[in-house]
Amino acid sequence: MMTGCKPERQEWVDMAKGIAIIAVVMGHIGFCWPHSRFLPLNVLLIWLWHVPVFFMIGGFFLDDKKLVHPVAFIKRKLKTLYLPLLYVYVPVLLLHNVFISTGVYDVGTNYSGHHVSWWGATDYVVQGIKSLLLVGQEPLLGAMWFVFVLFWAQTLLSVSSNLLRKTGRQWEQNAFDLVRFLVLLCLAVLSWSLTAMGYTKMLFSVTLVAAWLIYVGMLLMRRLRPQFDNGIVALICVVIAWHASCSVGGVNLVENRFHDVITLTVSALACLYVVCYVAKLIECRSKMLTAVLSSIGRDSFYIMGLHFAGFKICTVVLDQLGWDIPLAELVPPVGHCVGQFFCYVLFGAGFPLLLTAVLRRLKAAVGHRTVR
């Protein structure tokens, strides 16, 4: 047990999100990790847990008082998720042709199954409509699929909660939770089954799984209320995570590929406990690292959206220093070079933080002048 420290709830949650987003950034770098059958570092440190844990944290502070009122709930999500998404997405979209002309994109490069091309006026309109509908595929913002799915999954959770509450008006809370648990579990299993049969559509397939993971995170905090401060439990969770990484490997939610729903849920819960335990432990021991990780966690949305742009800047810098890394590659191929790997991690997380800090200062300055 950790004693002598009572961290604020929001601080350690931000730190946990900070740890998770760093893992996301690391996972998008083409680094050749040392690998052995019983110590798959890339799976343990990244691919087993980073996105599932993010979804579970997304359910931490949800409650039925808001969920069962979908109109009001969705309005809040439009303000907190949808509009910030467009603030990031639209400017990058408008620069599409500029990115091709400057070598940031290459028409011959395969970007996760897609190729870029020069756009005319009609293409900009079509792609703009796609971005408004949260189905855009701009390479530089490829990681924003997570935000698309998060929005739709929370919407699904709210609408389904409302419908189930109307269906079972006489249900006690326990019965309501169990029925909703069963419905969301069945939807997640349906999604996995369809993918196993060769049918996968991200906004459908992944949303069903994400809604389940979000609900598990919600139930965890509301029902069990773990303190994430038990070292023995953390060690047990480490063993579970290690066993899962060795036996079933990583998780690729963007393609809805994982071993099965139960293994996904158990391994994600184990990793969630470890991440939150580490966050609380750091909070008790290091004010500086706490400040850094919580800052990263609070702006994880922008790091998710802009870390590929940070990679591009890092590539330009490294090429100026004598390396020859192709600018058009979305995932920088650093091979076994540990130094390059950490440079990309630094730029991938640092550039979005710097940009958002500058924009906030500009906004504050403009607002101050307007008031005067």
If you search the block for the tokens 């459908």, which residue do you land on?
Answer: 204
Q: How many whole angstroms separate alpha carbon 79 and alpha carbon 181?
A: 28
pLDDT in tens, the chain (372 residues): 344 444 344 799 999 999 999 999 999 999 999 888 899 999 999 999 999 999 999 999 998 999 999 999 999 999 999 999 888 899 999 999 999 999 999 998 888 778 899 999 999 999 999 888 888 888 999 899 999 999 999 999 999 999 999 887 778 888 999 999 999 999 999 999 999 999 988 788 999 999 999 999 999 999 999 999 999 999 999 999 999 999 999 999 999 999 999 999 999 999 999 999 999 999 999 999 999 999 999 999 999 999 999 999 999 999 999 999 999 999 999 999 999 999 999 999 999 999 999 988 887 777 655 555
Query: pTM here?
Result: 0.92
Instruction: Specify the long-range contacts of residues 235-238, CB closer than 8 Å, at least 24 apart.
Output: 236/270, 237/269, 237/270, 237/271, 237/273, 237/274, 237/277, 238/270, 238/274
- The residues with which 257 forms a beta bridge, in sequence order, are 252
Cβ-Cβ contacts under 8 Å for 101 (sequence gap 6 or more): none
Tokens describing residue 181: 């648990």
Q: How many residues does the chain have?
A: 372
- Stretch (H or E) spanning 335: strand 333-335
Q: How many whole angstroms separate alpha carbon 12 and alpha carbon 273?
A: 12
DSSP 109: S
CB 280 within 8 A of CB 274: no
Q: How many whole angstroms separate alpha carbon 296 and alpha carbon 350?
A: 9
Phi-psi region of 109 (alpha: psi -120 to 50; beta: other; left: phi over 0): beta
